[in-house]
Amino acid sequence: TQIDQYAVFGSPIKHSKSPTIHRIFAEQTGQELIYTAQEVTADRFESAVTEFFRLGGQGLNCTVPLKELAWRFADRKTERAESAKAVNTLTLQADGSILGDNTDGIGLVTDLIVNHEVTLNGKKLLILGAGGASRGILSPLFEQQPAWVLVANRTASKAVNLADEFADRGDINGCGFDELAGLSFDVILNATSASLSNDLPPLPEGLLAPNGVCYDLAYGNEPTAFVRWSISHGAASSLDGLGMLVEQAAEAFLIWRGIRPDTAPVIKLLNAER
């Protein structure tokens, strides 16, 4: 019989760590599978996904810029994928249909809470950015019952709209960066893509409360601009999104293989490589 096939689609995909992560998960849990990375642009998405599953693919991760297309492609979606309006995990079901899920949010929350022992309950949270990643993390974040969530975005209207959408989950507001002056937060999450161009949103002094924690969803071999900002502003922890990447992969692996791998050695290995 054919070995079960999995893949990540995205563009650019060359530097993806997902094949390494899933290879280690498979070794660790004694599972036989193949996981490849394939360069797929938005215009080729539908034909590439259809072909992948037609040729016997079992599960697919989708990354930038395909998560919204994957959300549209899925026959059914989990509740967390529905509220995220983005899908990073597609799974072939026994009846031949494709289930869409989003494991990014739970990946972030697991990394924060389990790996870094950060408490969100009763805390004031600031999320920078109002794109796909922000949308994906809001639902799992609210499960931790923060006291207040503020979403700040370069385009203020997008933050306000996002906050409106999640208003039934808890105390949430949206604003532009210029409205941050005078506020302070226990946890600041950077979900802008500014880090990818070594850029930083304009952040006023005093934004991070004493003993506050900063987390950049982006990651790289060097500390991101936001991680450097965090360190220079005396954060108790200055974290980046490598742990989130591994944890979202572990959740996808769990969906596909029914077993949750041990993420700690994988995070350690990837940290050692940079």
Residues that bind ligand NDP (CB under 6 A): 64, 104, 107, 129-134, 153-155, 158, 191-196, 199, 201, 217-219, 241, 244-245, 248
Nearer to ligand NDP, 4 or 100 (CB): 100
Active site residue 14: no
> Least CB distance from residue 165 to ligand NDP, whole Å?
14
> Least CB distance from residue 52 to ligand NDP, whole Å?
21
Catalytic residue among 14, 17, 67, 124: 67
Nearer to ligand NDP, 132 or 212 (CB): 132
Nearer to ligand NDP, 48 or 160 (CB): 160
Helix H or strand E encompassing 97: none
Nearer to ligand NDP, 230 or 248 (CB): 248
Measured distance CA(14)–CA(37) in Å, rounded: 8
SS3 state of residue 29: helix
Tokens at 50, concatenated: 């259809």
Measured distance CA(204)–CA(220) in Å, rounded: 25
- Select from 136, 170, 96 the least CA-distant residue to 251: 136
> Least CB distance from residue 180 to ligand NDP, whole Å?
12
Measured distance CA(59)–CA(227) in Å, rounded: 33
Inter-residue contact 274 to 250 (CB < 8 Å): no
Tokens at 135, concatenated: 């949308």
Residue whose token pair is 């597609």: 90
Return the residue nearest ligand NDP (CB atom): 131
Measured distance CA(99)–CA(106) in Å, rounded: 17
Tokens at 222, concatenated: 């060097």
φ, ψ of residue 107 in degrees (nearest 5): -65, -45
> Least CB distance from residue 104 to ligand NDP, whole Å?
5
Nearer to ligand NDP, 219 or 229 (CB): 219
- Catalytically active residues are 67
